[in-house]
Amino acid sequence: MLEKKVTKYIKDHNLLHVGEKLLVGVSGGPDSLALLHFLHSMSGQYGLGLVAAHVDHMFRGEESYEDLVFVKKYCEERSIVFEGTRVNVNRYMSETGQSSQTAARTLRYRFYQEMMVKHSIHKLVLGHHGDDQMETILMRLTRGASGAARAGIPVKRPFGNGEIVRPFLPLEKRDILEYCSRQGLEPRLDPSNEKESYSRNRFRLSVLPFLKRENIKAHEHFQRFSKEIREDEELLLELTKSKMESIWVKQSKLESAIHVKGLMAMPNSLQRRAVQLILNYLYGENPESLSAKHTSQLMELFVNPDPSAELHFPKGLLVKKSYEVCMFSFLQTKPKTYYLKLEVPGEILLPNGYKIKAEYSKGSACKNDNSTFLMPAREARMPFIARTREEGDRMYPKGLRGSKKIKDIFINEKIPIEKRDAWPIVVDSSGEILWVPSLRKSSREAERGDDQQIYIYLEYIKV
């Protein structure tokens, strides 16, 4: 039964204490509603004070507002303190350039932190369960995660001036649904959880059922894997930190430097973690655009026999090697310009965390949105070049008469000023602008559907 599993898990991991005041994140779905109900059922015995926090992301209009009303009514009927808010995620996405999921999470956790301060609470309780853990680990491994990220969702972690705890991690989704049924709970259901347009849903709907058919206790094995990875990572990080003390030349958030030879003398497993510690220190919280590929680039820079080389990382971080010292600096004010030849087939990695992939293809097999560009191979003036913008750049946008300044396109699309200098402009050998990835295509782009000829197909992809 859920009650027995969760009570044991709380005790084993020292998650909750008698007389504590807790903030509970409640969406109104089965997981969070079961969590709130469970905590409320034990609140009298353990003297727990509960505050339920709900965030309406306004993705589903009136339907998502009804979720807020539902949670509020549930709390009022049980004298649970309720805090709810509505946030315009779409507007925040346009302001920051973040994806829908990242923007929603940022605003949700910001509200949680505000409520913890308001109510003097130091513990946020969330309803993530064992199936969530499996999804997260699989997604991260598929995307090439390294280090502690492979461990998935932690049982508890620091958050603001307190911590986040997750007492439902030993459970499967079916445990929660059985509890809701047994307790007469009627949670709200989010139809977007069934859409395969979200990668997490694809893992949930297709991969997890297969793994559970292979092993009914798969979620327990994933949880053990998470625990072991996290413990191993803690030990390796401690070893790395002890080695790091001797390789810092300069240590500052804005500008730091290390001895390359000292870092390369470490075992490989510690080298990788040293690089991650350096980036964690500099960024504080790593940007979404920072990936394992950047870590690989940095390692390649260290072993490169050339005495001088540099890399441009997200958020304006310049990495510059000069003989045996490598400098990391945010002090530069403008990204370096680039002029990169695009081979077909082939791909180029860009300083902004994206890449452009080029291949020969048939028209009907290609995606058709602003992240792609298609041109008959016989009409192409090669080579294609990806470069930074230049003064006076203009293009002839598809579907419009006349030309348009690239500067105006950036303004119209509300691209932040700090992103414009690193944004790729794709031109042909004559210098004509063909494509501003994700924003506009030129009139030179082909119409889709013709499979009688060979096309050059370009795609702008996040790394």
Tokens found for residue 220: 């327990």
Q: Using CA atoms of 239, 245, 246, 250 in order, give the dihedral in degrees to the nearest 10.
A: 140
Q: Which CATH superfamily is domain 2-223 in?
A: HUPs (3.40.50.620)
Angstrom distances, CA of residue 448 to CA of 363, 373, 381: 5, 11, 20
Tokens found for residue 316: 């304006």
Mean per-residue pLDDT over the chain, rounded: 90
- The CB density around residue 452, as the number of other CB atoms within 10 Å, is 6
Say whether 252 counts as a known binding-site residue.
no
Taking CA 352 as the corner, what is the angle to CA 346 and CA 353, rounded to the nearest 5 degrees? 65
CATH of 245-329, one of 3.40.50.2000, 3.30.70.660, 1.10.1060.10, 3.30.465.60: 3.30.465.60
Q: Name which residue leads in pLDDT, 153 or 145.
A: 153
Beta bridge partners of 397: 442
Place of tokens 């919280």: 285
In sequence order, what are the residues at sequence separation of 6 or more whose Cβ sits closer than 8 angstroms to the Cβ of residue 125? 16, 22, 23, 24, 25, 35, 39, 164, 165, 166, 167
Angstrom distances, CA of residue 44 to CA of 167, 239, 280, 449: 18, 45, 42, 66
Place of tokens 């013709």: 450
Tokens found for residue 182: 């047994």
Q: Name which residue leads in pLDDT, 304 or 336.
A: 304
* Average pLDDT of the segment spanning 231-239: 93
Tokens found for residue 31: 């997981």
Among 116-130, 345-359, 369-383, the range of highest mean pLDDT: 116-130
Angstrom distances, CA of residue 99 to CA of 19, 109, 121, 135: 39, 15, 30, 19
Place of tokens 């990391």: 328
pLDDT, tens digit, for every residue of 163-214? 999 999 999 999 999 999 999 999 998 777 766 667 888 988 888 999 999 9
Question: Percentage of the chain with pLDDT > 90?
Answer: 61
Q: DSSP H helical segments within 157-215, as ranges?
A: 173-182, 199-202, 208-214
- Between CA 179 and CA 33 the distance in angstroms is 10
Q: Is residue 62 over pLDDT 90?
A: no
- Between CA 420 and CA 410 the distance in angstroms is 7
The conformational region for residue 26 under phi > 0 = left, psi -120 to 50 = alpha, else beta, is beta
Cβ burial of 127 (10 Å; 0-12, 13-18, 19+) is buried
Q: What is the pLDDT of residue 340?
A: 93
- Between CA 222 and CA 227 the distance in angstroms is 9
Say whether 30 counts as a known binding-site residue.
yes
The domain spans of the chain are 2-223, 245-329, 339-462
Say whether 449 counts as a known binding-site residue.
no
* Average pLDDT of the segment spanning 387-415: 92
Q: How confident is the model at residue 316 (pLDDT cuts 50, 70, 90)?
A: confident
In sequence order, what are the residues at sequence separation of 6 or more whose Cβ sits closer than 8 angstroms to the Cβ of residue 322? 307, 308
Q: Name which residue leads in pLDDT, 289 or 276.
A: 276
Tokens found for residue 65: 């507002």
Q: Is residue 264 a contact partner of residue 287, using CB atoms and an 8 Å limit?
A: no
Say whether 29 counts as a known binding-site residue.
yes
Range name among 47-61, 96-110, 151-165, 376-390 with the lowest pLDDT average: 96-110
- Residue 423's nearest CA partner among 399, 391, 453, 387 is 387
In sequence order, what are the residues at sequence separation of 6 or more whose Cβ sits closer than 8 angstroms to the Cβ of residue 363? 374, 446, 447, 448, 449, 450, 451, 453, 455
Q: Is residue 301 a contact partner of residue 311, using CB atoms and an 8 Å limit?
A: yes
pLDDT, tens digit, for every residue of 432-460? 999 999 999 999 998 776 777 889 999 99
pLDDT, tens digit, for every residue of 246-268? 999 999 888 899 999 999 999 99
Q: What is the pLDDT of residue 137?
A: 93
- Residue 134's nearest CA partner among 214, 64, 206, 226 is 226
pLDDT, tens digit, for every residue of 13-56? 999 999 999 999 999 999 999 999 999 999 988 999 999 999 99
Q: Is residue 278 a contact partner of residue 256, using CB atoms and an 8 Å limit?
A: yes
Three-state secondary structure call for residue 438? coil
Three-state secondary structure call for residue 440? strand
Helix axes 30-46, 2-12, angle to 10 degrees: 70
* Average pLDDT of the segment spanning 206-225: 91
Type of residue found at 433: I
- The CB density around residue 95, as the number of other CB atoms within 10 Å, is 12
- Between CA 30 and CA 240 the distance in angstroms is 42
